Chain A
Amino acid sequence: MGTYEGLQGIWVLCGVRDGQIDRVSRELLGEAERLGAVEGMKTTAVVLGREIPQIRGADHALVVQDDSLSVPEELRWTHELYHLVRRYRPQVLLLGANGFGRSLAPRLAARLGTGLTADCTALDMRDGLLVQTRPAFGGNLMADILCPDARPQMATVRPRVFRAPDWEAARPCEILREPPAGPDTLSRLVEITGFTPSGQDAAIGEADILVAVGQGIGSKENIAMAEKLAELMGGALAASRPLVDGGLVPYAHQVGQTGRTVAPRLYIACGISGAIQHLAGVAAEKVVAVNIDPDAPIMERANWAILGDCGAFLREMVDLYTTSPPSVLPDRHSK
């Protein structure tokens, strides 16, 4: 027992995927280290599960290992985290703003009676307080939010806002094991009975590259072509609302206010006009817009704009990927 001074700094709740700390958690560990350095706070990676992966990139790791923690479930996680927070009293608790994090965090914040900021896109430390920046009104307004009095200061943070540090080079951390608080009455009321993975489409929140299609895509064949290109590029297919409402693409692919928020490195928008409701869901590093309408709003939000027909563009891209080995691709800078 006993309190650890070093555990009162910045916590990152880490998710586990394929036996490893997942990407958004690594991004958050990197950012926590930066923030911690500002105020001289230590960082802690918090990991719950039946199996615990290798943990790095923080001063400490706080681990709760139990058979009953095999599948993430909000009520069960809330119970464990509540006890950890109550015991060690961290200043800051960060979670990834994926589906699970955005369902868990408000539950936990309510139990702790503390403030929570959703879906942050930037963080900073000022006078010992965490400045949490988040978009509102569909991205038309950015708000800086503080939680001056209650602790911990909680925030969910959008994936891919921060760069994940080099995992291999990340420092090892001191592992502290905590016994499970055990399932409580509330978490016994919910039982996960099955899981149906949704294949590639589930991945739009995680993909590095998204090939997105909108109303101007032209034809079903072009949608298939976009999917093919996404596959070739190692990315996923995304869609704007009209195509989902039109039954042409399943809902799990929908990007935007009524769909998902995505933050790929590269977003190739084919035939997407760029309504604000759609752009609200796009936090890409770089955007390519392909559109026949030069006035489409997306053209102003794109790093690279191609004025032309989506079908022709997609066919050519697929051709470049399938038929021309890299050495044959002409390099326009050499003769």
Chain B
Amino acid sequence: MRIYACVKQVPANNETRLDPVTGTLIREGSPGVLNPLDAYAVEQALRLKEQYGGEVSALSMGVPGVRDMLRRVVALGVDRGILLTDRAFAGSDTLATARVLAAAVNKCGMPDLVLCGRVASDGDTAQVGPMLAECLGIPHVSDVACIEEIARGEARVRRLGDRGYHSLRVRLPALFTVLKEICVPRLPSITGVLRGEKAAIAVWGRADLGSLEGGVGLKGSNTRVLRSHRPDLRVKTRAVAGARDLMDILREENLIAEDRVRGDI
């Protein structure tokens, strides 16, 4: 089986901290890391490889520094890392990103399976996976909780829907975005880390990917960020003594269904 795991580098944490003396934003200590949910896609890919044989490639679009993150992914047992980096890719929205990833997948030949994390912690769109599947012309299933079996060119999976779990049968090749309940990501071994350090990471730019129909980068993106602003998340907090007072407030604010407060049932 040939599997691609798509991975993204994100800031280590989204937490913003304020300096207690100056009241300004603390920016220290936020290096780039593997998007936490992508670790599950990588792990699932490795487990499928161990179960069914084959090879796993990790694919990432990003700045040149993402090469180090890919080495860390290779250390886990991934066979090769491919970095898609080019100034022309900068400013890509989700669809333009999916086009670049699709071009890279097509360059290597269609795999049996493409796995993505459910969502990236920075952008929080959960769009690139389904868009990539569309660009590749293969089916996708989002929020996969379990890959039960792969046989005869078909996968049986369980996905978390809005009201419960669906069981699905999907013809391969296909793309799945996976939930964190799918597996426990492993740690690398010494052998793996040393191999990862020495691994050659393929670096492809726009010229390596042939024609990118629909365009990439800022120019190829249909969406534009008009402006961004920091929301005022603080609310006026009122201290409440306990449950009884809270009930009064909730009743005043019409937040509870009165008929449910009962003693006679």
The yes or no answer to A266 lying at the interface (CB within 8 A) is yes
A179 CB to closest chain B CB, in angstroms? 24
Contact between chains at B230 and A141 (CB < 8 Å): yes
Question: Please, which residues of chain B bring their CB within 8 A of the CB of A105?
Answer: 127
A118 within 8 Å of B (CB atoms): yes
User: What residues of chain B lie closer than 8 Å to A302, measured between beta carbons?
Assistant: 235, 237
Contact call B36/A258, Cβ cutoff below 8 A: yes
Instruction: Map CB proximity to A onto B193-227 as digits: 1 under 8 Å, 0 otherwise.
Output: 00000000000000000000010000001111111
Question: Given that A266-B255, A317-B243 are contacting pairs, would A329 and B261 also be in contact in the complex, using a CB cutoff of 8 Å?
Answer: yes
Q: How far is the CB of A22 from chain B (nearest CB, A)?
A: 9
* Chain A minimum-CB-distance residue to B17: A276
Asked if A195 and B238 make an inter-chain contact with CB atoms under 8 angstroms apart, the answer reads no
B140 adjacent to chain A (CB < 8 Å) = yes
Whether a CB of chain A sits under 8 angstroms from the CB of B16 is yes
Nearest-neighbour CB distance to chain B for A246, whole angstroms, equals 14
Q: Type the 1/0 row for A89-117, where 1 means its CB is closer than 8 Å to any CB of B.
A: 00000000011101111110111011111
CA distance A319 to B181 in the complex (A): 35
Q: Which of A266-289 contact B (CB under 8 A)?
A: 266, 275-277, 279-280, 286-288
Q: How far is the CB of A146 from chain B (nearest CB, A)?
A: 5
B152 at the interface (CB under 8 A from A): no
Q: Which residue of A lies closest to B177 (CB)?
A: A103
- List residues of chain B with CB within 8 A of the CB of A287: 235
Q: Report whether B94 and A116 are in contact in the complex, using a CB–CB cutoff of 8 Å.
A: yes
Within 8 A of B (CB), among A316-335: 316-317, 319-326, 328-332
* C-alpha gap A186/B143 in the complex (Å): 19
Chain B stretch 121-172: residues in CB contact (< 8 A) with chain A: 121-131, 133-135, 137-143, 156, 160-171
> Would you call the interface of chain A mostly helix, strand, loop, or mixed?
mixed
Minimal beta-carbon separation of B166 from chain A (angstroms): 5
Q: What residue in chain B is nearest A265 (Cβ atoms)?
A: B255
Known: A103-B130, A103-B143, A117-B223. A304 touches B181 (CB 8 A): no
**Across-interface contacts of A258 in B (CB, < 8 A):** 36-37, 180
In the assembled complex, the CB of B20 is this many whole angstroms from the nearest CB of chain A, namely 12
**Distance of A308 Cα from B258 Cα, bound (Å):** 25
Tell which of B233, B235, B242, B260 touches A316, judged by Cβ atoms closer than 8 Å.
Answer: B242
Given contacts A137-B122, A146-B223, A275-B15, contact A321 B260 (CB under 8 A): yes
Q: By the criterion of a CB under 8 Å from any partner CB, how many residues of chain B are at the interface?
A: 88
- For the complex, give the distance between the alpha carbons of A74 and B95 in Å: 17
User: Which residue of B has the minimal Cβ distance to A199?
Assistant: B164
A107 touches B130 (CB 8 A): yes
CA distance A236 to B28 in the complex (A): 39
Contacts of A324 in B (CB 8 A): 261, 263
Residue A178 is within 8 A (CB to CB) of chain B in the complex: no
Q: How far is the CA of A146 from the CA of B133 in the complex (A)?
A: 24
B73 contacts partner chain A, Cβ-Cβ < 8 Å: no
Set of chain B residues within 8 Å of A187, measured between Cβ atoms = 139
The chain A residue with its CB closest to the CB of B265 is: A322
Report the contact-size class of chain A (Cβ under 8 Å from the partner). 35 or more
Determine which of B166, B224, B228, B236 lies in contact with A303 in the assembled complex, contact meaning CB atoms within 8 Å. B236
Q: From A331, which residue of chain B is reached at the shortest CB distance?
A: B248
Q: Are A110 and B131 in contact (CB under 8 A)?
A: yes
Which chain A residues border B84 with CB–CB below 8 Å?
Answer: none
Query: Known contacts being A113-B214, A142-B231, is A276 close to B14, with CB within 8 Å?
Result: yes
State whether the Cβ of B249 lies closer than 8 Å to any Cβ in chain A: yes
Residue from B16, B160, B226, B245 within 8 A of A99 (CB atoms): B160
Return B212 CB to nearest CB of chain A, in Å.
13
Q: Mark B171-190, 1 if CB is under 8 A from A, else 0.
A: 10010000111000000000
- A selection of 30 A-B contacts at a CB cut-off of 8 Å is A75-B140, A78-B134, A99-B142, A99-B160, A99-B162, A102-B126, A106-B95, A106-B129, A106-B130, A107-B133, A109-B131, A110-B130, A114-B222, A116-B127, A135-B124, A137-B14, A145-B226, A146-B224, A148-B222, A149-B222, A190-B168, A192-B167, A209-B256, A233-B257, A276-B16, A286-B255, A306-B240, A320-B261, A325-B261, A332-B248
Across the A-B interface, the 4 shortest Cβ-Cβ residue pairs: A115-B222, A138-B14, A110-B134, A316-B243
